[in-house]
Structure 1
């Protein structure tokens, strides 16, 4: 079992099949992508599969990761695209 201190926190941006972007938070990127692509992820991505990972960032605390997630969610589509292109 992982200790709480060793847990990594991630934010990620996926591109959906319809070309839209979804930004989320997780402690396990691979598991979360699988959930999205199986239709078990966020409601937004269920009808927009498959999703492809475009960007990820890691943080040592959940708070830092969720602050960054909020910042990214405030950006326009073009601003989000600049993060990973």
Structure 2
């Protein structure tokens, strides 16, 4: 099993990651050893996680979410799945008309 996860950092930004061991990875983030990005934006809080069968799936989902807007990430965190398609961006950064 593997996980994709989102952390809310102390500065209000979001960090998206993936891991094979979510509990261990959260411990690393909590002490500033999870990633350079999060270590400079402490404290961090786990706000969303999704379990996948394979590491490759978790990594692919991580990369997809990293490309999302803040609004789309926040809809995912809220569990507002109906809002996700409307928050999709077209290539070039513009929302669909």
TM-score (norm 2): 0.77
- The answer for the alignment partner of 2:30 in structure 1 is 37
**What is the alpha-carbon distance in structure 2 between the residues aligned to residue 60 and residue 51 of structure 1?**
26
Give unpaired runs (5+ residues) of structure 1. 1-7
Please give the TM-score of this superposition, normalised by the length of structure 1.
0.88
- The alignment status of 1:50 with 2:43, answered yes or no, reads yes
Deviation (angstroms), 1:15: 0.1
Query: CA RMSD, aligned part only?
Result: 0.7
For 1:50 and 1:31, how far apart are their aligned partners in 2? Answer: 16
Higher relative contact order (CA 8 A, sep 6+): 1
Paired position in structure 2 for 1:59: 52
**Unmatched runs of 5 consecutive residues or more in structure 2:** 79-97
Bigger radius of gyration: 2
Q: 1:21-76: per-residue Cα shift (whole Å, max 9, x none)?
A: 00001111111111111011110000111100000001111111111111100001
